[in-house]
Amino acid sequence: MCKSQTKKELEKVLGYIESAELKDEDKKQIEADAIENYNTFVNPGWLKYRKSVSTNAAFIEWMDHDQYFYDVNGEEFIDCLGGFGIYMCGHRNPEILKYVSAQLNRQALHSQELLDPLRGYLAKVMSEITPGDLQYCFFTNGGAEAVEMALKLARIATGGRYIISAIDGFHGKSMGAVSVGGKSTYRTPYIPMVQQVQHVQYGNAEDIRKAVDNLFHVGEKVAAVILEPIQGEAGIIMPPAGYLKEVRAICDEYGVCLIFDEIQTGMGRTGTMFRCEAEEVVPDILTYGKAFGGGIMPITGIIARPHLWIEELQENPWLLGSPTFGGNPLACSAALATIHYMLENDIPKQAKEKGEYLIAGLKKLQEKHPVILQDIRGLGLMIGVEFPESHMGYSVAKGMFARRVMTAGTLVNAKTIRFEPAATISYDQLETVLSRFDEALTDTEKEFSL
């Protein structure tokens, strides 16, 4: 394509962005362009993947607000997936958006060299809303990047090299993050990976003790144990009571850094600001993300206890990392506004109460559909519904999508479907979701003669 054609294409697309209302021919063109562009310039497998979880592989998201998103033709959907945990405060929450807009009108990014006050304010606030003596922050852009920083910090601060993680755990898909991940689907194509990672059974503290003790016995030093307080991508897997406390005690005994990956469980999702609060356990490093940017800006990060910020890191502040866009003013404004909104409206409490309501409704449906609904589990608004087979879950997800409710399984199967709506969802909307779920279950039972 010559430059004049590229310019013409850009003007067309920018016109779509700027337009308050699309013409019918524009809508058709956007749909056609999306299919062509994904197949030719993104990844042709994406359309096949989308087809497996919805009735329309070419569904085009175009706008959103509150609990809803809309396709390019204006069809309204209740979002019960929430971007796998992004939208705790709803879509484009106006109380958050106004501060992001104000910051955008003042300054979006920063010079990298001078002090950005919003980063400092955000770090201070994080030290106040996280448990224990967690204090020093490092802001990043995506969840995997935050996990990378946590792993690097643990290694440099302890001098250890081995990382203990859990089978079926999920921590992102960059090389370090996927190395500590516990699913072969994501790991196998890249083996050999980051070395000195050992996987143990999730929920079994004795497995961690044996792994750490054996490594120390043969002269290897363990840097960290990394865990999700509740496994998300694995299908909302809850550990047994007291598990996290036992792991904390083991880490203390051997001088090992404990990392909690709360990118999905944190920011109110499970009924407390962070899940570890409810377990009365303070990690050495806490990762956070997803809902941290209010569903408006991407921002993630870590917060660590002071003893990990060793002299070497203080002498060279760039040693841990220096992401160009990590902790930029626009993203920090979103996070600051999000935390204020969560505190002002007690988002963790709303998640707890509405989660209990939704789980109770789902369990009533389980009584009505006992064969297809095998298990209901979760906390707050991080809920998993398990089916006998993955293809049944896909069928239910399609049925929900056809009824204008978005939910989905994990990234690689739908044996468990996740319900992760915003805490701002109304009880009437939850009743609508339950009613449509009931209908979708009935359709799937008929489809598979259950």
Three state DSSP letters for the chain? CCHHHHHHHHHHHHHHHHCCCCCHHHHHHHHHHHHHHHHHHHCCHHHHHHHHHCCCCCCCEEEEEECEEEECCCCEEEECCHHHHCCCCCECCHHHHHHHHHHHHHCCCCCCCCCCHHHHHHHHHHHHHCCCCCCEEEEECCHHHHHHHHHHHHHHHHCCCEEEEECCCCCCCCHHHHHHCCCHHHHHHHCCCCCCEEEECCCCHHHHHHHHHHHHHCCCCEEEEEECCCECCCCCECCCCCHHHHHHHHHHHHCCEEEEECCCCCCCCCCCCCHHHHHCCCCCEEEECHHHHCCCCCCEEEEECHHHCCHHHHHCCCCCCCCCCCCCHHHHHHHHHHHHHHHHCCHHHHHHHHHHHHHHHHHHHHHHCCCCCCEEEEECCEEEEECCCHHHHHHHHHHHHHCCEECECCCCCCCEEEECCCCCCCHHHHHHHHHHHHHHHHHHHHHCCC
**What's residue 49's pLDDT?**
67
**What's residue 335's pLDDT?**
98
**What's residue 55's pLDDT?**
55
**What's residue 410's pLDDT?**
77
Which of 228, 142, 218 is closest to 182 using CA atoms? 228
**Can you tell me which residue has the tokens 């749909």?**
31
State the virtual CA torsion across 166, 171, 172, 173 in degrees, nearest 10: -30
**Region label for 434, one of left (φ > 0), alpha (ψ between -120 and 50) or beta (otherwise):** alpha
**What's residue 2's pLDDT?**
81
**pLDDT, one tens digit for every residue, the chain (450 residues):** 689 999 999 999 999 999 999 999 999 999 999 989 998 999 888 777 665 456 555 678 999 999 999 999 999 999 999 999 999 999 999 999 999 999 999 999 999 899 999 999 999 999 999 999 999 999 999 999 999 999 999 999 999 999 999 999 999 999 999 999 999 999 999 999 999 999 999 999 999 999 999 999 999 999 999 999 999 999 999 999 999 999 999 999 999 999 999 999 999 999 999 999 999 999 999 999 999 999 999 999 999 999 999 999 999 989 999 999 999 999 999 999 999 999 999 999 999 999 999 999 999 999 999 999 999 999 999 999 999 999 999 999 999 999 999 998 876 778 999 999 999 999 999 999 999 999 999 999 999 998
Which of 201, 206, 148, 196 is closest to 172 using CA atoms? 148
**What's residue 48's pLDDT?**
73
Q: Which two tokens stand for residue 200?
A: 């143990």
Give the span between the Cα atoms of 164 and 442, in whole angstroms: 43
Q: What is the pTM of this model?
A: 0.96
Domains of the chain by start residue, with CATH? 16-92+346-447 (3.90.1150.10), 94-344 (3.40.640.10)
Give the span between the Cα atoms of 288 and 85, in whole angstroms: 11
What angle, 0 to 180 degrees and rounded to 10, lies between the N-to-C axes of helices 390-402 and 427-447? 130
Q: Which two tokens stand for residue 145?
A: 């990047």
**What's residue 257's pLDDT?**
98
